[in-house]
Chains A and B, each alone.
Chain A
Amino acid sequence: MRRTFGAVLALLTAASPAFPAPISFNTALPVHEGGLLLRGQGVWMRMHDDPSPAGREADIIAAPTVLVFGATSKLAFMGVFPYLNKALNFPHQAPRRASGLGDIATLGRYEVFERSRRGYTARGAVSAGVEWPTGADDEADALGSLPKPVQLGSGSFDPFFGTVWTAQWLNLQLDADLFYQRNTEANDFRFGDALAQNTSLQYRLWPRTLGAGVPSYLYGVLELNNVYQGKNEAGGASDPDSGGYQLFLTPGLQWVAKRAVIEVAAQLPVVQELNGSALRTDWRLIGSFRVWY
């Protein structure tokens, strides 16, 4: 039962992006002082590739709402409030489901580097936060308690930290980050720690030449998402069918206006070196919007 989708869980509730930049992770671009940014996101993750004969299939719908506040032009605070719907299906058996609020994450981001000139900026920031045990971790159905990865929350306080760097020109943008999440133990269970490295290239497809004023952009986006997650531990023993390495290629489109961003992307697995019979990901679809208040 434990052989499911721990790596995905870490991705879901980790620091979801909210700034005007990559689709699946963060950026170092500034949030103006007193600025409030709302991001609504929908992610559908399909994992129907079971290397074991059990024939498991998992689907996760995640809808995180992200609020970002610019305390100063260098310091921003963010809250991630995920709504989750998880389903684990077995042949000839009722699905095991859970839906509701997941673990809320809060984090701060501080700009440590900035070089700018006309039409160009390069910035670096460090970020740290905590995932709080706000999601239910004791959901049960007729078969008993749900497996830990199907629970809405981990039950544990999980700190994370990392750094993100951005270079932005008028026609393209590069972002790269590195984040580590330390997952702690709760209810005699601990998800494996997660290390994520993401790189994104955004290229302005339209307009080809900039006119006067502030035209909206259509960016073509291509991301590479590396995720490594350690094995889960239950009762002091590691689960051989959990954790591993995944690399996703994420093409997407992003419409960027002065006050809003709308974007869609698909995360396609390129490499999945997962341990034992951990479920493989077929794809993930992401759609989201961001609005300034």
Chain B
Amino acid sequence: MIIPALILAIASAAAPPVLRAAEAERPAARTVIVQVEGLACPFCVYGLERQFGRLKGVERADVDLGEGKATLRLKPGAKVTEAQIREAVRKAGFKASEIKGIEEAGGSESKAHTGNIERAGDRFLLVTSDGKKYLLFDQETADAEHALDEPTRMKLDALAKEKKRVTVRGAVHEHKGMPKGLHVESVEAAP
């Protein structure tokens, strides 16, 4: 039993420090971390866990009372939205001040984003008036590289050249170290 543990220790020690720091900062895949305001006694935690347990996509909820934090492990393939999580916390009598990992978990909701299309090498960005940048895609490939199908690519290329304001509707997807990804559902000229 000692040898596997030793190998594990060596393996984790051998990981690049930057990568390990990034992993520590980033929630594990399919988990969502919720910062809860007002949680201060063990008896109050039960109601919070019950409300999280009523969300269909939540497999397990672990609360850290001292940190006021709930870690939700989602069921494979399940989708839980930020609004559902905030509502669950509200029903328990508390407030969710911050929700981390919801976009990685596919819980981001489709919204309209308005700005200009810009080219960045082979890729296209939507740059909003307040300076936010979203990497546009409509396909996720097997190697997790995001891509655009040809008609969408041509349309975005034309809009980039025309420098017209457009409204892109889609769900935002978090990317560490890169602009957020925006899964394009529709592109229209902004009113």
Please name the residue on chain B nearest to A73 by beta carbon.
B93
A173 at the interface (CB under 8 A from B): yes
Number of B residues whose C-beta is below 8 Å from A?
31
B-chain residues with CB within 8 Å of residue A189 when the two chains form the complex: none
Partner-binding segment picked from B59-67, B118-126, B131-139, B165-173: B59-67
Residue among A168, A258, A290 making CB contact with B40, cutoff 8 Å: A168
Bound Cα distance A258, B91 (Å): 17
- On whether the beta carbons of B68 and A256 are closer than 8 Å, the reply is no
A102 at the interface (CB under 8 A from B): no
A31 at the interface (CB under 8 A from B): yes
Please name the residue on chain A nearest to B94 by beta carbon.
A116
Smallest CB separation, B83 vs chain A (Å): 16
Residue among B37, B43, B64, B92 making CB contact with A213, cutoff 8 Å: B64
Contacts beyond the supplied A30-B44, A213-B64: 18 A-B pairs with Cβ under 8 Å: A20-B44, A29-B93, A32-B46, A32-B50, A32-B91, A33-B51, A114-B38, A118-B36, A118-B37, A120-B40, A121-B37, A168-B40, A173-B40, A210-B66, A214-B45, A256-B41, A257-B42, A259-B43
Chain B positions near chain A (C-beta within 8 angstroms): 35-51, 62-68, 90-95, 97
Chain A positions near chain B (C-beta within 8 angstroms): 20, 29-35, 70, 72-74, 111, 114, 116-121, 168-170, 173, 210-217, 256-259, 261, 290, 292
11 A-B pairs with CB atoms under 8 Å apart are A30-B92, A33-B91, A73-B91, A118-B67, A118-B68, A215-B42, A256-B41, A258-B45, A258-B46, A259-B43, A292-B46
